[in-house]
Chain A
Amino acid sequence: MIGALLWRDLRLATRAGGSAALALAFFAAVATLVPLGIGADLKLLARVAAGVLWVAAVLAALLSLDRLFQADFDDGSLDLIALSPLQLETVSAAKIAAHWLTTGLPLTVLSPLLGTMFGLPVAATWTLALSLLIGTPAVSALGAIGAGLTLSIRRGGLILPLLVLPLLAPAVIFGAAAVQAILDGLSDGALLFLAAFSVAATLLSPFAAAAAVRLNLAG
């Protein structure tokens, strides 16, 4: 039943009107604007690449958060899902997984290409991709809390980033720091901290997101 829900969300995200491809295009467009803004100096670009791509990835993921619960809330299917024998916590986890598979994962796959275009060395490029692979589940998970909380707000898309972005600071810091460490020839534990943060966020967020969805469905 979880599988059916996951499969349904994946198909909705990838078919016409879904936003998986749009998030990817947004990510690439932001990454293209940055060198236009700060100049084409590859040395400078390599220094800022990890930070820029991480921020762009977070923004791209936020952009598509509205389809996590909002579309189902608006057309009433979230009520039906809530009436099903599935726990809302499980539903949230499945929806987070679907969101990650259609935004975080494609962004990760695209990132080595953009990293190379930013002049990152090969080792740093792979670290960047690895950090995105590890860290983007936390973005989808914490984003789900914000998406749940803003369900009943008209134009909730405006308030959602304010709620979620401060919570995502650790992911951006550790993700970019891991790449920076490779560039400086150091080894530090940033990736491990990123993994710890991501695991904790992914495990705990479905509960908070389910509580948020429940309060918006009640009454």
Chain B
Amino acid sequence: MASMFALANPKRFMDASAQFLPWLVGAAALALAAGFVLGFLAPPDYQQGDTVKIMFLHVPAAWTAMMAYGLMALTSLFSLVWRHPLADVAAKSAAPLGAIFTVLGLVTGSLWGRPMWGTYWVWDARLTSFLLLLFLYLGYIALWNAIEDEVRAARAASILALVGAVNLPIIEFSVNWHTLHQGESIMRADGPQISTVFLWPLGLSALGYTLLFLALWTVRIRTEIMQRRARSLMLGDHA
């Protein structure tokens, strides 16, 4: 925790992130490359054939999209409780990325659904809750953009993110009423129900997606901080 709060200083964050960003990008590229190559070389599934390989694009995108909302809610909590500007910036920067990973999950899922279920879209639990997740992201982004005052926008968006975080499991549960989507196969008490030839590439691409998200997040936070500095410099000139 101490190191996290040390990094919460924008200046220190800029210095540190300049150091670790190239490593993060490199690691993301490596993990993604390894995951995709292994995934491409994996044998076809006995039921799903080659379409099973969409999994290596789809499942990590969905995980990352949910993780992004979790991180956004967590940084929103920091922003509300400690009123820290860097937490505002972090939460704000996570939202568009999360929305894009959500769209990626929806698109790859629909492309997978076509050969598997015979249709691009079914009003199934996971798909519907993901669509609702996308709307939560869009609402968050729209609220940020609609309020001109930065501090006020940050606090309003933080409240919305936390309300969404409380509501998200309930939405998930309520749409789960009837489902066509396959059951949980990785995080099970009796161990993963998935062959190791699929587990390895899936794990590697999940790692790759996560690192990619963290790298892009860092870039966005840095950009936002620089933008704010530039704006305050320009305001200073006119004052």
Contact = CB atoms under 8 A, between A and B. Distances in A.
Interface of A: 142, 145, 149-150, 152-153, 156, 159, 162-163, 165-167, 169-170, 173-174, 177, 190, 193, 197, 200, 204, 208, 211-212, 215-216, 219
B146 A153 contact: yes
B156 A149 contact: yes
B160 interface: yes
Contacts of A156: 146
21 contacts: A142-B163, A145-B159, A145-B160, A149-B159, A153-B147, A156-B146, A159-B142, A162-B135, A163-B160, A165-B135, A166-B164, A167-B171, A173-B175, A177-B177, A193-B174, A200-B170, A211-B159, A215-B152, A215-B159, A219-B149, A219-B151
B174 A167 contact: no
B173 to A, nearest CB: 8
A75 B16 CA distance: 49
A27 B226 CA distance: 49
A150 B146 CA distance: 9
A189 to B, nearest CB: 10
Contacts of A152: 147, 149, 152
Nearest to B156: A149
Contact of A167 (B146, B147, B167): B167
A152 to B, nearest CB: 6
B185 to A, nearest CB: 25
Closest 3 CB pairs of A and B: A170-B174, A166-B135, A163-B139
Contact of B159 (A153, A162, A208, A219): A208
Contact of A163 (B132, B143, B171, B174): B143
A170 B171 contact: yes
A200 B174 CA distance: 14
B174 A169 contact: yes
Contacts of A166: 132, 135-136, 139, 164, 167, 171
Contacts of A165: 135
A219 B147 CA distance: 14
Contact of B143 (A149, A174, A197, A204): A149
Contacts of A169: 128, 132, 171, 174-175
A108 to B, nearest CB: 21
Of B132, B139, B166, most buried by chain A (CB within 10 Å of CB) is B139
B42 interface: no
B84 interface: no
Nearest to B152: A215
A145 to B, nearest CB: 6
B155 interface: yes
A40 B149 CA distance: 51
A96 to B, nearest CB: 14
A82 to B, nearest CB: 16
Contacts, number: 76
B30 interface: no
B143 A167 contact: no
Contacts of A142: 163
Interface in B42-59: none
A213 to B, nearest CB: 10
A167 B129 CA distance: 11
A156 B41 CA distance: 52
Contacts of A212: 156, 159
A177 B177 CA distance: 9
A156 B152 CA distance: 15
Contacts of A216: 152, 156
A145 B163 CA distance: 9
A159 B153 CA distance: 14
A174 B167 contact: no
A197 B173 CA distance: 11
From B143, B156, B163, residue with most partner A Cβ within 10 Å: B163
B34 interface: no
Nearest to B133: A166
A151 to B, nearest CB: 9
Contacts of A153: 146-147
B138 interface: yes
A215 B163 contact: no
B176 to A, nearest CB: 10
